[in-house]
Structure 1
């Protein structure tokens, strides 16, 4: 019995002290030189870098699709709108004035900047800039800021 126990302890001791074999790996290997991503600024900088590094074509693809909602109308009641943003940078905007059957279709080009702001070229100022947020195009004011209050809730387009 003593011999069996002695052999067991000897084998266990040799196994533990043998060092690293070829199959052992350090789970932290390759991460030692990286700074931890702990603060808020670093995380937001990574997101900004990702967006700014992507090409304009990739941005156009990510916003491309059909959107529906309510938009302001200069000199007329608000209009129900359907907007199709195509991957080639063109758009089709169909508007229907509230209370009428009159529909107007407009075509043009759009652009997307690094902040994911979509600008419809040839549309009236204050009605041509949107911010893409979670599948919605939120209407921006003339200075490029998000609308506030009832305007923010009322105007915008939802992807469908």
Structure 2
């Protein structure tokens, strides 16, 4: 019983420590695309809870660039998931130590074996 209480308290404390400052930084990677060649993505999360999400879709080697800016919030149901606002289609990302991973609308990562991770390349101060 004591062990369970200690684990519960530790879990709560670690959840409380996750803030916009902890996730601030630049995340980059190549995402799979069902109707294009690939998607080059860059997500900049700032400590003021604003974001810049840049994507380049490659269709027949031709780039199509998109830029979305707005605010992000912590998901109310999943403490390690952020939600970008409507400017980025309310996309969700699970926060990890050195990367973020795109999620479905329920905040779950894809179990398809495809790589939906953007690696942290720069820490914002």
TM-score over 0.5 for the pair: yes
| Inter-CA distance 137–78: structure 2 relative to 1 (3 Å threshold) | same
Q: In the comparison of the two structures, how many residue pairs are matched?
A: 116
Between Structure 1 and Structure 2, whose CA radius of gyration is higher?
Answer: 1
TM-align CA RMSD: 2.6
Larger % of helix: which?
Answer: 1
Query: Structure 1 CA distance, aligned partners of 2:6 and 2:62?
Result: 49
Once the two structures are superposed, the pairs formed by residues 9-158 of structure 1 within 5 Å of their partners are 39=3, 41-54=4-17, 59-71=19-31, 76-98=36-58, 99-113=61-75, 115-122=79-86, 123-124=88-89, 128-151=91-114, 154-158=115-119
Q: Residue deviations 1:38-71, cap 9 Å, x none?
A: x4x44542332214444xxx60000110000134
Corresponding position of 1:7 = none
TM-score norm. by structure 2 comes to 0.75
Query: Structure 1 CA distance, aligned partners of 2:6 and 2:102?
Result: 27
Q: Which runs of 5+ in 1 are unaligned?
A: 1-34
Query: Structure 1 CA distance, aligned partners of 2:38 and 2:120?
Result: 19
Write out the 4+ residue segments of structure 1 that deviate beyond 4 Å after TM superposition: 72-77
Query: Structure 1 CA distance, aligned partners of 2:107 and 2:56?
Result: 25
Contact in 2 for aligned 1:67/1:84 (Cα 8 Å):
yes
Q: Which has the higher contact order (CA 8 A, sep 6+)?
A: 2
